[in-house]
Structure 1
Amino acid sequence: MDMRELALGVLLEVSAGEEYSHIALRNVLDKYQYLEKQERAFLTRLVEGTLERRIELDYIIDQFSSVKVKKQKPVIREILRMSVYQLKYMDSVPDSAVCNEAVKLAQKKGFRQLKGFVNGVLRNIARNLGEIKLPPEKEPVRYLSVRYSMPEWMVREWLTLYGREQTETMLSAFYEKAPLTIRVNKNRISPAELKARLEAQDIRVQAAPYLDGALQIDGFDYLGGLNEFREGLFQVQDVSSMLAVEIAGVKAGDHCIDVCAAPGGKSLYLAEKTGETGSVDARDLTEYKAGLIRDNAERLGVTNVRVSVKDAGIYDEASKEKADVLLADLPCSGLGVLSKKTDIKYRMSKEQQQELQELQRRILSTVEAYVKPGGTLVYSTCTINRGENEENVRWFLSHFPYQAVSLDDCLPEKLRSETTKQGYLQLLPGVHPCDGFFIAKFRKKN
């Protein structure tokens, strides 16, 4: 099996907008589970790296190609991108092999007439790679856009919101590969026992920040190949997502509603905290998403979760004032998780951000009625865009009978700040050792 050909297939699927990169790549890795660990690692790095660095790769190609990237045929464009990524970022692959394999792949895909073009462009880039200069730093938007492969409109927005230093810290953080974070299923095993079992398989394990029941693991081949995963001893979940549940302050016996729940990490954590006397109503928009929640609940042995297909934007009279705790982790621009879902940055626009903000307000307007007087509503997103976060908090408090609640009694000391006293927490890439994430807490007035 040719890893470069598999990578090309994934890149074409993603660039055509047919699938998100993390899903397309996972589908291929699942299909070819028999691949050696080294081959899987090569394929993953080539796909993720080519996507992450797309703007920089196009900037390089355009300096050496007579046909600009935007006018190239999709197959040739992706072959050049993934080849330049190998030349610049994968030292273990000889330049000659990169060029030869690219030519072979172009021929195999029916572009024999363009093999001279592919060969010429790549050999020219290989010879001159060390001489390529980025745009000047005195043009910060263009410079940061090319250096970190981030669309210019996004860089401009972050420079305005966060300033040069913090923007560059965040942009740099998206390239730091963090270990996988997991939540230990304490109903079945202790963190110490799980750590020992994983380490016995030469998997690197360390405590995750902020929370006792979270670990970070690295050095395993395939998640589904771990007995501990199949036995439901842990759930893949970032610390930021776990913090949303911690902040909710769930008690034994509470009834919780999670309105956009898939794949179910937060719902299942809520279920653990409510205990057998409590219950969780986990909802999402499609049967596929509901199926993901059911699969995870079954694997973890969670029985106090009811899963249903419901549109969070459509009012459900039967849910009125039923929830002690309502969790609204709503669809958002996803700009806090670009290290995991790289291609979001190429799909998102300012207009779409505005549409998402309006969708969030529409859903909040609907689901706030499900909270009992005196009950709690937690609003969260995985983005760092203030329109979807702080602005939505101000809007919500001015339109509905809720008050902001300090988060400090639910948070470790190092996360407490002026904003957490005001009822919200913004986690930022590079500043906090987890995903970029926003969490706000409200209590419904009696």
Structure 2
Amino acid sequence: MRLHRNLVFAVIDGLHLIFNENEYADKVVEKLLKRDKRWGARDRGFIAETVYDIVRWKRLYAEIAEVKEPFNRENLWRIFAVWAVLRGYKLPDWKQLEGTPIRRIKGRFDELSKNRVYRESIPDWLDKLGGKELGTEIWTNELAALNAQADVILRVNTLKTTKEKLQGLLFDNNIDTAFIKGYPDALKLKERTNVFTTEAFKNGYFEVQDASSQLVGSYLDVAPGMRVADACAGAGGKSLHLAALMENKGQVISMDIYGNKLKELKRRAKRNGAHNIETREIDSTKVIKKLHGKMDRVLIDAPCSGLGVLRRNPDAKWKLQPEFLEEIKQTQQQILQDYSRMVKPGGKMVYATCSILPSENQDQVNKFLKTEPGQEFKLVKEERILSHQSGFDGFYMALLERKS
């Protein structure tokens, strides 16, 4: 395996932006991949996967390299050298890699791997919190699963095609997929590839959506003709799924405090052929009040720590701070109490997060049920999805029904 200078320099530039400029890894990678039009799929794959890999294992690699933040250019090269040695690359005779202590790197890796915070590359405070909330055994297993590379999962848009037809179309494009038992609309890619350039994607036949996330729409128990609110819609992955489950009949009101995300949803809805989606920006409390007691179903896909999706957003564990976690829990509770008022008597609501912490999940639901608006609801069922058990993202869902 050979290292190519222009690709490695792109990786170093990307790491500088993520670690020192606090930019988001996905945005940085997106920019890097547009740097040179001559790069092929393998070149772009190397850049993306190497950047994510080093971000994922930042603490371990920095400790082995004996460097501390903020990382200067030389520090970043030392971290890269650790990655390359542990991945089995033959180091070229570049001045940036001179004097790399190969045997010492391997020895330090073996030594540090005995300690969970280095082996799983996690901040101390977060490791303590996870162990406290989930217990040592579950937290240890979950961390290992969340450090594995995520599979690429597609959700078939049943407004336009079937799972079987889409599988055949993709196969004709040399993209091999598999069905996943228990996930009716999902296809898993057998090998990673860029699916966004396919005609099937451009025609709105599928969206990329993790298998765990696909369960949320079904959990809400929607039917054609209902009025449904997706109260924290973002760019609308779940709104699109709800529209498909409702067969384009009825109304999906997709709401968010960020108008730019709703613009993206409109674009996606057009491509998907989802005509029953209406977007509303939550720019005042009036937007919610107008819908009090009028919705058959309400989905609250609440803002959260994102600890269940570290496989695809590994930089989140370095950006997350204890203060933010406390703030987001207050926000979650406020959203539950305010947005639940949209559910009409006899209607249902799902509270969901992509977190695995009980303090963001079960505890929030239990706390809500004791509040004045919460006393009108009963908990029908709840489900905790752990990555080491499912093989997919960590998730939580609770179905609540408003008493008639």
Q: What range is the shorter-chain TM-score in? A: over 0.9
Does the aligned pair in 2 maintain the 1:262–1:284 contact within 8 Å? Answer: yes
Aligned to 1:76: 74
Partner of 1:134: 111
Tell me the residue number matched to 1:396: 368
CA contact (8 A) 1:284 1:312 kept: no
> What amino acid sits opposite 1:77 in the alignment?
N
Structure 1 residue 33 displacement after superposition: 5.8
Q: 1:160 to 1:40 in 2, by over 3 A?
A: same
- With over 3 angstroms needed to count, the CA separation of the structure-2 counterparts of 1:271 and 1:36, relative to structure 1, is same
Query: What is the rounded CA distance, in whole Å, between the counterparts of 2:37 and 2:256 in structure 1?
Result: 30
Gaps of 5+ in 1: 63-67, 104-117, 138-142, 407-422
Q: Retained in 2: the 8 A contact 1:134–1:146?
A: no
Which of 21, 41, 44 is the equivalent residue of 1:40?
44
Decide which of 18, 28, 36 is 1:24's aligned counterpart: 28
Which residue in 2 is equivalent to 1:377?
Answer: 349
Deviation at 1:194, TM superposition (A): 0.8
Deviations 1:33-54 (A, max 9, x none): 6521110111012101110110
Gap change, CA 1:209 and 1:157, over 3 Å in 2: farther
Residue 282 of structure 1 and its aligned partner are, at CA, apart by: 0.7
The C-alpha deviation readout for 1:184-223, integer Å capped at 9, x for no partner, is 1112111111111112222120112422211111435423
**Aligned pairs (5 A) from 1:249-328:** 249-311=221-283, 316-328=288-300
3-state SS of paired residue (1:324): strand
Percent of paired sites with the same residue: 25
Distance 1:363 1:168 in 2: 31
TM superposition shift of 1:169: 1.5
SS of 1:435's equivalent in the other structure is: coil
Kindly provide the CA deviation profile for residues 229-266 of structure 1, in whole angstroms up to 9, marking residues without a partner as x.
11100011112112111110001111111111122111
Aligned in 2, Cα 1:234/1:159: closer, same or farther, shift over 3 Å? same
Q: Note the alpha carbon deviations across 1:287-310, whole angstroms, 9 max, x for none.
A: 321122112101111111012222
Give 1:332's match in structure 2, choosing from 300, 304, 308. 304
CA RMSD of aligned residues (A): 2.1
Counterpart of 1:165, as a letter, is: E
Partners in 1 of 2:357 and 2:285 — Cα distance?
Answer: 22
Look up the match of 1:114. none
- Do 1:379 and 1:441's aligned partners in 2 also have CA atoms closer than 8 Å? yes
Q: Distance in 2 between the 1:388 and 1:211 partners? A: 25
One-letter code of the match for 1:131? G
The TM-score with structure 1 as length reference comes to 0.84
Contact residue 159 and residue 274 of structure 2 kept, 8 A:
no
Of residues 87, 90, 93 in structure 2, which corresponds to 1:94?
Answer: 90
Q: Alpha-carbon deviation of 1:14?
A: 1.5
Query: Do structure 1's residue 150 and structure 2's residue 149 form an aligned pair?
Result: no
1:389 Cα offset (Å): 0.6
Task: Name which of 438, 443, 446 aligns with 2:396.
Answer: 438
Q: TM-score, normalised by structure 2?
A: 0.92
Cα 1:430–1:311, aligned 2, differ >3 Å: closer, same or farther?
farther
1:210 and 1:239 in contact (8 A); partners too = no
Q: Determine if the alignment matches structure 1 residue 208 to structure 2 residue 207.
A: no
Q: Distance in 1 between matches of 2:218 and 2:168?
A: 26
Residue 28 of structure 1 and its aligned partner are, at CA, apart by 2.8
Residues 352/17 of structure 1: CA separation in 2 closer, same or farther (3 Å cut): farther
1:85 paired residue number: 83
1:56 paired to 2:60? yes
Summarize deviations over 1:303-353 as a string: whole Å, max 9, x none. 110122225877632111121111110110000000000010011122221
Which AA in structure 2 matches 1:430? Answer: H
Q: CA deviation at 1:134?
A: 2.6
1:245 equivalent among 217, 225, 239: 217
Q: Which moved more, 1:47-56 or 1:394-403?
A: 394-403
**Does structure 1 conserve the Cα–Cα contact (< 8 Å) formed by 2:147 and 2:310?**
no
Q: Return the letter of the residue paired with 2:119.
A: R
8 Å contact from structure 1 (residues 283, 307) kept in 2: yes
1:8-35 per-position Cα deviation (integer Å, ceiling 9, x unaligned): 2222221235432123212333565652
**Aligned with 1:219: secondary structure?**
coil
Q: Contact 2:149–2:312 at 8 Å: present in 1 too?
A: no
C-alpha separation between the residues in 2 aligned to 1:220 and 1:55? 26
Distance 2:347 2:392 in 1: 28
In the other structure, the counterpart of 1:110 is: none
